[in-house]
């Protein structure tokens, strides 16, 4: 089942269950995917869909941080529910050990020797872990390995 089909199916289920949070979140995801499709002018590839989902996820994480900073627990809780729904459409996240192994393999593939090769390693690494690991976490591991 494609992501679009899954979203439409979940939207129908949320409507029937009167689950407003899920319905609104799924509609936002659908809208973001449609906007990207229109912007690019073609049907989205799985990679492009993942990029949109990552953007939606990051947006909600930033909102949670802002709401928490502003002592708006009610809005933070609501956004956490949305974040959980968005993460449900994303691929399974890599564990710390799995990510560490991929970083080590990539460093040896690229032949990186020191910190100056950071960019080369990241360029080779990110397509391998796209959507399955946080970029900040990946870059921190690469820095640790190269130092």
Whether residue 131 is found in the same domain as residue 80: no
23 lies in which domain range?
Answer: 3-88
Residue 52: CATH number of its domain: 1.10.1510.10
Residue 89 sits at φ, ψ, to 5 deg, of -90, -10
Say yes or no: 103 and 82 in one domain. no
What percentage of the chain has pLDDT greater than the value 70?
99
Q: State the average pLDDT for the chain.
A: 88
Are 10 and 67 in the same domain? yes
pLDDT greater than 80 at residue 108 = yes
Question: Are 75 and 100 members of one domain?
Answer: no
Greater confidence (28 vs 116) lies with 28
Query: Residues 71, 101: one domain?
Result: no
What is the count of structural domains for the chain? 2
- Confidence bin at 45 (pLDDT 50/70/90): confident
Do 69 and 136 have their domain in common?
Answer: no
């Amino acid at each position: 089942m494609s992501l679009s089909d899954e979203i439409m199916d979940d939207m129908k289920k949320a409507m029937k269950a009167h689950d407003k949070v899920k319905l609104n979140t799924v509609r936002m995801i659908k809208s973001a995917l449609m906007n990207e499709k229109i912007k690019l002018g073609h049907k989205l590839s799985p990679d492009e869909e993942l990029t949109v989902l990552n953007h939606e996820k990051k947006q909600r994480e930033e909102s949670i941080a802002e709401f928490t900073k502003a002592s708006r627990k009610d809005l933070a809780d609501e956004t956490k529910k949305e974040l959980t729904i968005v993460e449900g459409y994303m691929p399974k996240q890599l564990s710390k050990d799995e990510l560490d192994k991929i970083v080590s393999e990539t460093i040896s593939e690229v032949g990186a020797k020191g910190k100056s090769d950071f960019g080369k390693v990241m360029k080779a690494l990110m397509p391998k872990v796209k959507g399955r690991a946080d970029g900040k976490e990946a870059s921190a591991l690469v820095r640790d390995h190269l130092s």
